[in-house]
Amino acid sequence: MSTGTFLTLNSTRIHVNDWGGDGQPILLVHGLASNARIWNRVAPLLVESFRVAALDQRSHGLSDGPHDDDYGFEAVCRDMREVCTELKFNKPIVVGHSWGAGVALEYAARYPDGVSGVVMIDGGFVGMGRRMTWEETEKRLAPPRLSGTPLAKFRERLKKSLDGDFSEEVLNIILGNFEVRPDNTVRPHLAFESHMKIVRAMWEQDPDRLYPQVKCPALFLPCIPPEPRDPMSEQFLSWKREGAALARKLIPQARIDWLADSIHDVPLQRPELVAEKIAAFASDL
């Protein structure tokens, strides 16, 4: 069971789920349309051997939005640096998923003496700006307008999209992205405009430039979606293969471990596998 803690960083309250534990500290970093609860199935499997915490990034989960409205990588990495200081996480392993993988990569490049290792789960190696125009990226990654959706309708929509992977636990995890209003409608914590600022930062990030700056061991865990795959999934998979090959070339200590038959939100789908890969990586350091 985790303990929720609020840390005030530069006048912004950042929420942290702290599972405790002893040993090598591990900081878990969620993705864009996500929150710290996505690690609820993974963290309990790690805490037996490691010191584990997950943060809600700015404007996500229970964390406040920044006063400067800055969602760039420098700002979110600064948040993580201060979280590590407050938690006394000395040279943690930083584990990021999706956008959080890009944050983890950036963090390892910016603070080479502040990490023992970095794990990037299905992210951190695509380099969108090299492969899509900004207009294409806007179209593909703009979030659905869900504010005002009745909770019952949202639940049914989620159940349909997840098919057999739906459960009340998963619903609760995903609802960490939303405020449930008194009229039983939902509103995203992250405003549409803020979401798109993060997408813009992702589009502008150049992983190829960051790879040579990563001096610590690195583990990439890209997902191979189950069959059948639509054309967009096939295209992203091709880009991931190209990015993973370049990462292996430019980061001397990089390992690539493909997760077959895994959806993008693999921490929810296959938590045992994700925890196993993280634990093995950490134990080898």
Task: Assess whether pLDDT exceeds 80 at residue 163.
Answer: no
Q: Which strand ranges, in their side-by-side order, compose the sheet holding 12-20?
A: 3-9, 12-20, 51-55, 25-29, 93-97, 117-121, 218-221, 254-256
Q: What is the pLDDT of residue 97?
A: 98
**Taking residues 80-105, what's their average pLDDT?**
97
Q: What is the pLDDT of residue 235?
A: 94
Task: Assess whether pLDDT exceeds 90 at residue 1.
Answer: no
Task: Assess whether pLDDT exceeds 90 at residue 51.
Answer: yes
Task: Assess whether pLDDT exceeds 90 at residue 165.
Answer: no
**Taking residues 87-110, what's their average pLDDT?**
98
Q: What is the pLDDT of residue 2?
A: 84
**Taking residues 46-72, what's their average pLDDT?**
96
**Pairing label, strands 51-55, 12-20:** antiparallel
Percent of the chain with pLDDT over 70: 100
Write out the two tokens for 27.
């900081």
**Residue 240 neighbours by CB under 8 Å, 6+ apart:** 122, 125, 126, 222
Residue position matching structure tokens 């700002």: 75
Please tell me which residue, 163 or 178, carries the higher pLDDT value. 178
**Residue 195 neighbours by CB under 8 Å, 6+ apart:** 32, 33, 142, 143, 188
**Taking residues 178-203, what's their average pLDDT?**
97
25 within 8 A of 95, measured Cβ to Cβ: no
161 confidence band (pLDDT: 50, 70, 90):
confident
Q: What is the pLDDT of residue 59?
A: 97
Residue 281 and residue 114: Cα distance in Å, rounded? 17
| pTM value surpassing 0.85 | yes
Buried b or exposed e, range 60-76, using 16+ CB within 10 angstroms: bbbbbbbeeeebebebb
| Nearest CA-CA partner of 37 in 152, 189, 185 | 189
Residue position matching structure tokens 């294409």: 136
269 confidence band (pLDDT: 50, 70, 90):
very high
Q: What is the pLDDT of residue 63?
A: 98
**Taking residues 9-28, what's their average pLDDT?**
94
pLDDT single digits (tens) 214-236? 999 999 999 999 999 999 999 99
Crossing angle (nearest 10°) for helices 99-110 and 73-87:
70
| Mean pLDDT score of the chain | 96
